[in-house]
């Protein structure tokens, strides 16, 4: 699928379109796994932070796979269908998630298949994404709760539609076989007059503004789900799972020492991984993502900071050798 132009002017136009209407984007970079078998829900329940066992067809949830030490392997969405589950992973993480499931599969009847090459995913994001989806697939499909899948059809192309984490107001994913996905994209652009396509640069700005953590940036084994503010992916009422003891202890004894926050940075984009420092020059965290907002003189960022420095409006600095960048905490991520 051809990517939209990524010139500064094009990215600025895409960004404005997301804010006033909606944008269509290729999200085939996401990993896709089909998980089936009579023991699939039970196994995933024992391997993730979320209460998965109770899911029925048409339901879905976000969940995290973590190590025995409670560190993040990946943050996924699970969509329960009549014939199994669709698992959307972070970019390039489907193999790691599949291997992790396989490591803990013994006598369970579970089958994990990669759909990375056979299927693709489109995203529709923005202030009027719900209206656009309603116009294409009907109001009931657009109004479904977060992560709850429904099969939809447009121009003889069938896809799985699920509401996802919002960018610029709202968000939806459409997953389908590649041939159907191409037909689906063409039909959407034909029927949704004026809809703009957005590329990775625009999506990255929208992601950072929304405070969504990303694979390889905020979602690594350096951090745990509480630090990444994945609270809605954690069930405190379910039974044991890999990493559960650590996750529960961090919450019970208030041992979370740092949090992911949204930042405003001046005057330019600092290098990722640069240290965040407090007023006295003491290290208090790390910058994990940053991008300049097109057409505006501001830079947005994400970073992990010590819990006592995570308050809204807290002024920090980012240090890169002899250069210093001013940073202000805008609020919690997500």
Give yes or no for residue 296 having a pLDDT over 90.
no
Higher pLDDT, 178 or 6: 178
Q: Which pLDDT tens digit goes with each residue over 193-237? A: 999 999 999 999 999 999 999 999 999 999 999 999 999 999 999
Q: Which pLDDT tens digit goes with each residue over 45-70? A: 999 999 999 999 999 999 999 999 99
How far apart are alpha carbons 64 and 92 in whole angstroms? Answer: 16
Percent of the chain's residues with pLDDT above 70:
99
**Mean pLDDT, the chain, as a whole number?**
96
Residue 22: both structure tokens together: 């909606």
The predicted pLDDT at position 4 comes to: 76
Give yes or no for residue 3 having a pLDDT over 70.
no
Confidence tier at 268 by pLDDT (50, 70, 90) = very high
How far apart are alpha carbons 96 and 215 in whole angstroms? Answer: 12
Q: Comparing 4-8, 28-32, 279-283, which segment has the lowest mean pLDDT?
A: 4-8
Look up the pTM and report it. Answer: 0.96
Question: Per-residue b/e over 91-117, b at no fewer than 16 CB within 10 Å?
Answer: eebbebbbebbeeebeeeebebeebbe
Give yes or no for residue 1 having a pLDDT over 70.
no
Q: Give the DSSP H/E element, type plus range, for residue 10.
A: helix 8-20
Look at the block and give the residue holding tokens 């926050």. Answer: 261
Q: Which pLDDT tens digit goes with each residue over 29-51? A: 999 999 999 999 999 999 999 99
The predicted pLDDT at position 140 comes to: 98
Percent of the chain's residues with pLDDT above 90:
93
Give yes or no for residue 314 having a pLDDT over 70.
yes
What is the arithmetic mean of pLDDT over 92-112?
97
Give yes or no for residue 25 having a pLDDT over 70.
yes
Give yes or no for residue 332 having a pLDDT over 90.
yes
Nearest C-alpha neighbor of 253 from the set 261, 265, 245, 264: 245
Q: Which pLDDT tens digit goes with each residue over 152-175? A: 999 999 999 999 999 999 999 999
* Residue ranges with strand state E in 67-213: 72-81, 84-89, 111-114, 119-125, 150-154, 157-167, 170-177, 196-198
Give yes or no for residue 123 having a pLDDT over 90.
yes
Give yes or no for residue 239 having a pLDDT over 90.
no
Residue 138 Ramachandran class (φ > 0 left, ψ -120 to 50 alpha, else beta):
left
Give yes or no for residue 297 having a pLDDT over 90.
no
Question: Per-residue b/e over 255-293, b at no fewer than 16 CB within 10 Å?
Answer: eeebbbbbbebeeeebeeebbbbbeeeeebbbbbbbbbb
Give yes or no for residue 18 having a pLDDT over 90.
yes
Give yes or no for residue 2 having a pLDDT over 70.
no
Give yes or no for residue 292 having a pLDDT over 70.
yes
Nearest C-alpha neighbor of 63 from the set 208, 218, 213, 231: 231
Residue 161 Ramachandran class (φ > 0 left, ψ -120 to 50 alpha, else beta):
beta
């Amino acid at each position: 699928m051809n990517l939209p132009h990524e010139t500064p002017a094009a990215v600025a136009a895409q960004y404005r379109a997301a804010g006033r209407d909606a944008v269509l984007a290729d999200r085939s970079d996401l990993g896709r796994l089909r998980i089936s078998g009579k023991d699939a829900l039970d196994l995933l329940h024992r391997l993730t932070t979320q209460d998965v066992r109770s899911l029925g067809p048409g339901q879905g949830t976000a969940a995290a796979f973590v190590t025995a030490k409670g560190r993040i392997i990946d943050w996924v969405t699970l969509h329960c269908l009549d014939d199994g589950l669709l698992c959307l992973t972070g970019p390039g993480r489907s193999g790691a998630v599949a291997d992790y499931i396989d490591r803990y599969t013994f006598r369970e009847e579970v089958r994990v298949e990669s759909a990375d090459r056979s299927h693709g995913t489109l995203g529709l994001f923005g202030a009027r994404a719900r209206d656009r989806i309603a116009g294409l697939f009907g109001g009931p499909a657009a109004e479904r709760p977060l992560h709850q899948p429904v099969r939809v059809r447009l121009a003889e192309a069938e896809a799985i539609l699920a509401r996802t984490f919002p960018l610029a107001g709202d968000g939806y994913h459409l997953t389908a076989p590649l041939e159907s996905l191409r037909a689906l994209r063409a039909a959407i652009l034909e029927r949704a007059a004026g809809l703009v396509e957005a590329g990775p640069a625009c999506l990255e700005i929208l992601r950072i503004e929304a405070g969504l953590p990303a694979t390889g940036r905020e979602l690594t084994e350096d951090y745990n789900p509480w630090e990444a503010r994945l609270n809605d992916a954690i069930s405190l009422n379910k039974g044991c799972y890999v990493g559960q003891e650590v996750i529960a202890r961090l919450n019970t004894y208030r041992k979370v020492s740092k949090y992911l926050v949204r930042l405003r940075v001046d005057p330019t984009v600092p290098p990722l991984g640069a240290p965040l420092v407090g007023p006295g020059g003491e290290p208090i965290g790390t910058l994990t993502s940053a991008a300049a907002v097109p057409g505006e003189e501001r830079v947005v960022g994400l970073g992990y900071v010590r819990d006592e420095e995570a308050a809204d409006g807290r002024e920090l600095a980012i240090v890169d050798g002899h250069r210093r960048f001013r940073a202000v905490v805008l609020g919690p991520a997500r």
